[in-house]
Structure 1
Amino acid sequence: MPARASAQDGTHPRPQLQREEWTDLCGTWQLAFDDDRGGIGGGWADLTDLGDRAVFDRDVTVPFPPESEASGVADPGPHPVFWYRRSLRLADVAGADAVRERGHRVVLRFAAVDYAARVWLDGTLLGEHEGGQTPFSFDVTALLAAGDADAEHVLVVRAEDDPRDVTQPRGKQDWLDEPHSIWYSRTSGIWQPVWCEVVPPVAVEHLAWTPDVAGSAVHLGLTLREPPAEPVTVAVRLEFDGQLLAEHRVRVAEQRTRTTVAVPALENGQARQDMTWSPETPRLVDAVVRVLAGDGDGEVLDEVGSYLGLRTAAVGGRAFLLNGLPYYVRSVLGQGYWPTSHLAAPDAGALRREVELIKELGFNAVRVHQKVEDPRFLYWCDRLGVLVWGETANAFAFTPEAVRRLTTEWLDVVHRDVSHPCIVTWVPMNESWGVHDVATDPAQQAYTVALAALTRAVDPSRPVVSNDGWEHTDSDVWTVHDYADTGAVLAERYGSAELLTALEEFWPAGRRVLLPGAVDREQPLMLTEFGGVRFTPVPPHEVPEERTWGYSTATDAEDFARRLEDLLSAVHASPVLAGFCYTQLTDTMQEANGLLDEWREPKLPVERLREIVTGRRER
């Protein structure tokens, strides 16, 4: 039986679908730049002599982007195409004996490659993938298991990430050669783990857990890697705090199945509060899913470990509701960017530490900005208790191609992360990026409405924000970005309940918050970007001006504390705000408006920051 997934160490690339053995393929790979895009015509995919370094003329440490210092390359480019190469032997793959002895399959998995990837093994094209933030995989059994287990095979990856193509979902990655304004150095190519996994012929590929607390049940969407040749039985076991919570069996004849697991313990409404998940009590339910031959009395064909959280996320009566009760959201904007490794985390431990810092500072939520974060980060949010607003990187253009790309990738994002209890809101669009004329263009308005509706169609269990910050068309939360530099201005704007009846005419950032036609269903109002106070603890003359972006400037530590308290006190006192998101957690490249510097060192004592963030009281 797999170890308890809720108690894992945070290194597995897929925290909610684990088998006991997997093989990490990160480390040293060979790299080639292909600036004139001649590699395909030049036959680079067929260059399988690893000793010939004429083309693959440098090494790179995967999974760090070649632009970063951690990769060992540190070449900011811009380079539109990257080629990677490494050896792969069946003998080095954990569980390889089962491939020949029991007909198991070897699956090659990529967590994320920015932006479009093609993959070859021994010169044979395995396939391709588009979308820089979502996972993909290939069955490599036929090639890898051919011949001796010690035979060396050659894996080649071509990654295309054109910095000039603004129809790609780019987020905060700069389209110019050098970082400028609020945009950062690029993260191209392989930037999340690559690994191999041996799976049985009939194998679980995806699990989608949806808690139904009121219905005393958990709904499960299960996907097998392939349709079973004969019907099988899927057995689900749920445990909470080491005790059996539920068992369920279902006959499965198709590749995809939806089933409902009854959880009788939830019928006791008074006892539910001892089982539900929240930031204050991040309780997780362990799950084991087995695929059994035939009617379930035969062989165990596959077994995976997973986890879930019993919680609900909704809105109502101008409040955000967690587990049916009003919950005040204290969030921080996180860029998920590190100075030596860019959008890739420097290691798995850094992801845990990021979550710990968020909690230590007094926040109960994080908005990872213009980035789909590593699933291992989401695991620590699940386990330690931090709400997450699931956002994606946006494109900068509005064209049919940009719409196709973002919509496709967004659906893959929701599919990947739908089971994480920490994610309580979906945010497919930010500040009208990629829909800059949404206030006047009916096509762009239709796009934001459709994207929000599509998100609800595939996951009706969470609120959706159609366009975070302003120019809302169909959002479940009215969100505002307002970088007023004094608490007095914030108090004037958000200090009266009358604001809620005047949102259609509210223009705090020069943009209308609600577009005509947006329907007020008594959505909660949140200030989801504000603050941004610039402060560099070293003397300002030692920091180049172009690396000290901020919306206002503090002169010293006391002034920084005073400004923070001034802004946050006004927000805490607002009778209309259901929550906030402070900008931002850390300094990031030229942005010097973090509560922590880029190395995650606090600019004030953590205890002082926590007092300011919480208003000296836990809400």
Structure 2
Amino acid sequence: MFFSRDRKSLCSLNGTWRFETESREEKGEQRFARDLDDSPWRTMRIPVNWHLGGLEDYHGRVWFRRRFRMGKGGTEYATLRFNGVDYICRAWLNDRYLGSHEGYFAPFEFNVSGILEDDNLLAVEVDSPWEKPEDWPNRKRIIKGVYGHHDCRPGGMSEEGQRWNTGGIWNSVELIFTGQVKVDSVMVLQDLEGSSARLRPSVLLRNLGKPVEAEISMRVGGCGFRADAGSVRRRVRMGHGTKRVDLGLTLDRARLWWQWDQGEQNLYLFDLEVRVDGETSDRVQGRFGVRRLTLDRGWNWRINGRRFFPRGTNVIHTQWLSEMDRRRYERDLRMVRECNVNFIRVHAHVEREELYEVADEMGILVWQDFPLQWSYDNGVVKRALPMMEEMIRTFFNHPSIVVWCCHNEPQEFNLRELDVALYRFARRLDPTRHVHLASEFREHPYPGWYYGDYHMYIGLPGSPCPTEFGAQALMNLGSMRRTFAPQDLWPPNWSKWA
């Protein structure tokens, strides 16, 4: 989950890292070792998807190393945080193995208390492989959605569609310094009761040391308007590891969040502090909105009790998340609003945190897909479930997100097993939102594009809520040059353009 913290508690590790590919690895070489001479290695500015950082069209393992100095003070309790690595990451600090993580979109952390020294060496192995020929394309195992396989990717839907790999340390890396007890996540559940909102924040705490007693206090105010829900305090006994603590507050005369064509985008700010032995151990701030969205069996949508008509579009802002930022998302969503659209579907992938922040502020509803595109081996379910939990926990507090969808265009064998498991798990994690089993082929009318003639629309009843339709259009020239190989641009290679 993404929070605001005092900058004094953060140390950025962004900047120039050294890197080398597995093809240059010497036999018996320990690339995590502090005494390894990495001066011949190439350099890359992190964060970046490696395709944009000088390692074009590469798939497989890449080693990254970063040396940094730390002062002796304030390092008793420290956490190493990666805000996004694509796809499998293993990390070492000062020759100590920290652990691993699989997935491309979620932040993850390692406790490095007691490992930091004056001079430090952080080594990271990132593996972003191709699917094996025996798995491609109907039994895929890598959970990257349209970033791994899609007809709009460079190379199309053939095996060449795996080219121009999205691997890399694409988001920031930082050290977080706290006291013994830190905040892992805050999920603000809510119930509207007349003009009031009953808030039920669920706080996940992590004790980095020995058993201890901690005091939690939380206050809620308005973003840009006066509002005070008062505060709540609780004392908890913490063993080593994590503990969930449930709080409760009431917002009188709550200001509701609406999409842009229905009302204002009111947002609230929570301020959560954890104290141990009278001293601040951790303090975080985050935003949320108060709204109720319902969807009945007839696919009638209502926000805060008012029925509305969803006017949506699918979005894939880029193939490389490191090149996106708040300014580009603001530009894209301004164009969405200018098209009179009030709903976007983040199509079979997960975006950066900044997209959802901008959607909250601009009043754009979000249908959020889990990153599954077409067919997968059902055995991936054990690895997919933790990623589903990461997606829901990371983006839970965004009022713009109103739908979780488990899979895009699955085959029947996935619908019966993989998608049912994800659906049940998501419903249990988030009872406040609509969970859609899958965006199926029958929801996607494409006459005049993949088949038939566009006049067939006249005879189409369609599904209650088509989640894809229409025709693709050529992008602008700059985007085409980034997406297509030079030999496919001119003369036009119609097999790639179409």
Q: One fold, TM greater than 0.5?
A: yes
Partner of 2:215: 233
What does 1:36-47 correspond to in 2, within 5 Å? 41-47=28-34
Partner of 1:61: 45
Residues 537, 348 of structure 1: CA spacing in aligned structure 2 closer, same or farther, 3 A cutoff? closer
Q: Given that residues 167 and 396 in structure 1 are in contact (C-alpha distance below 8 angstroms), is that contact kept between their aligned partners in structure 2?
A: no
Partner of 1:247: 231
Partner of 2:182: 203
Partner of 1:290: 273
Partner of 2:168: 189
Q: CA deviation at 1:34?
A: 0.5
Partner of 2:39: 52
SS in 2 for 1:413: helix
Aligned letter for 1:167? R
Partner of 2:74: 98
> Partners in 2 of 1:208 and 1:39 — Cα distance?
47
Partner of 2:120: 153
Q: CA deviation at 1:414?
A: 1.3
Residues 354, 24 of structure 1: CA spacing in aligned structure 2 closer, same or farther, 3 A cutoff? farther
Residues 88, 537 of structure 1: CA spacing in aligned structure 2 closer, same or farther, 3 A cutoff? closer
What does 1:585-596 correspond to in 2, within 5 Å? none
TM-score of the aligned structures, taking structure 1 as reference length: 0.68
Aligned letter for 2:405? V
Q: CA deviation at 1:17?
A: 4.4
Q: Given that residues 247 and 261 in structure 1 are in contact (C-alpha distance below 8 angstroms), is that contact kept between their aligned partners in structure 2?
A: no
The aligned length equals 460
**In the alignment, is residue 179 of structure 1 matched against residue 162 of structure 2?**
no
Partner of 1:463: 434
What does 1:17-166 correspond to in 2, within 5 Å? 17-21=4-8, 22-35=10-23, 41-49=28-36, 52-53=39-40, 57-68=41-52, 71=53, 73-77=54-58, 79-91=59-71, 97-99=73-75, 103=76, 105-144=77-116, 146=117, 151-165=118-132, 166=140
Q: Given that residues 87 and 103 in structure 2 are in contact (C-alpha distance below 8 angstroms), is that contact kept between their aligned partners in structure 1?
A: yes
Residues 248, 278 of structure 1: CA spacing in aligned structure 2 closer, same or farther, 3 A cutoff? farther
**For 1:348-370, what per-residue CA distance to the aligned partner results, in whole angstroms no more than 9, with x for missing partners?**
43334333333333322221222
> Partners in 2 of 1:141 and 1:351 — Cα distance?
36
Partner of 1:324: 305
**For 1:109-140, what per-residue CA distance to the aligned partner results, in whole angstroms no more than 9, with x for missing partners?**
11121221110112221111122222211122
Q: Given that residues 342 and 364 in structure 2 are in contact (C-alpha distance below 8 angstroms), is that contact kept between their aligned partners in structure 1?
A: yes
Partner of 1:579: none
> Partners in 2 of 1:470 and 1:325 — Cα distance?
30
Q: Given that residues 381 and 421 in structure 2 are in contact (C-alpha distance below 8 angstroms), is that contact kept between their aligned partners in structure 1?
A: no
> Partners in 2 of 1:174 and 1:249 — Cα distance?
46
Partner of 2:256: 275
Partner of 2:470: 531
Residues 312, 487 of structure 1: CA spacing in aligned structure 2 closer, same or farther, 3 A cutoff? farther
> Partners in 1 of 2:39 and 2:338 — Cα distance?
51
**For 1:247-279, what per-residue CA distance to the aligned partner results, in whole angstroms no more than 9, with x for missing partners?**
22223224433424332414xxxxx5x433433
What does 1:284-433 correspond to in 2, within 5 Å? 284-293=267-276, 298-316=278-296, 317-337=298-318, 342-394=320-372, 397-432=375-410
Residues 322, 16 of structure 1: CA spacing in aligned structure 2 closer, same or farther, 3 A cutoff? farther
Residues 283, 90 of structure 1: CA spacing in aligned structure 2 closer, same or farther, 3 A cutoff? same
SS in 2 for 1:44: coil
Segment drifting more, 396-405 vs 423-432: 396-405
Runs of 5+ consecutive residues of structure 2 not aligned to the other structure:
133-139, 481-487
* Pair member with larger Rg: 1
**For 1:400-431, what per-residue CA distance to the aligned partner results, in whole angstroms no more than 9, with x for missing partners?**
53222222212221121112111110012000
Aligned letter for 1:199? T
**For 1:190-209, what per-residue CA distance to the aligned partner results, in whole angstroms no more than 9, with x for missing partners?**
12221222112111121111
> Partners in 1 of 2:365 and 2:5 — Cα distance?
23
Larger strand percent: 2
**In the alignment, is residue 490 of structure 1 matched against residue 490 of structure 2?**
no
Q: CA deviation at 1:347?
A: 4.0
> Partners in 1 of 2:3 and 2:27 — Cα distance?
37
Partner of 2:137: none
Q: Given that residues 278 and 311 in structure 1 are in contact (C-alpha distance below 8 angstroms), is that contact kept between their aligned partners in structure 2?
A: no
Root-mean-square deviation over aligned CA pairs: 3.0
Q: Given that residues 17 and 206 in structure 1 are in contact (C-alpha distance below 8 angstroms), is that contact kept between their aligned partners in structure 2?
A: no
Q: Given that residues 169 and 396 in structure 1 are in contact (C-alpha distance below 8 angstroms), is that contact kept between their aligned partners in structure 2?
A: no
Q: Given that residues 163 and 175 in structure 1 are in contact (C-alpha distance below 8 angstroms), is that contact kept between their aligned partners in structure 2?
A: no
Q: Pick from 224, 229, 232: which aligns with 2:205?
A: 224
Residues 50, 210 of structure 1: CA spacing in aligned structure 2 closer, same or farther, 3 A cutoff? farther
> Partners in 1 of 2:27 and 2:191 — Cα distance?
50
Aligned letter for 2:338? E
Aligned letter for 2:294? A
Aligned letter for 1:98? G
Q: Given that residues 205 and 245 in structure 2 are in contact (C-alpha distance below 8 angstroms), is that contact kept between their aligned partners in structure 1?
A: no
Q: Given that residues 427 and 435 in structure 2 are in contact (C-alpha distance below 8 angstroms), is that contact kept between their aligned partners in structure 1?
A: yes
Segment drifting more, 195-204 vs 182-191: 182-191
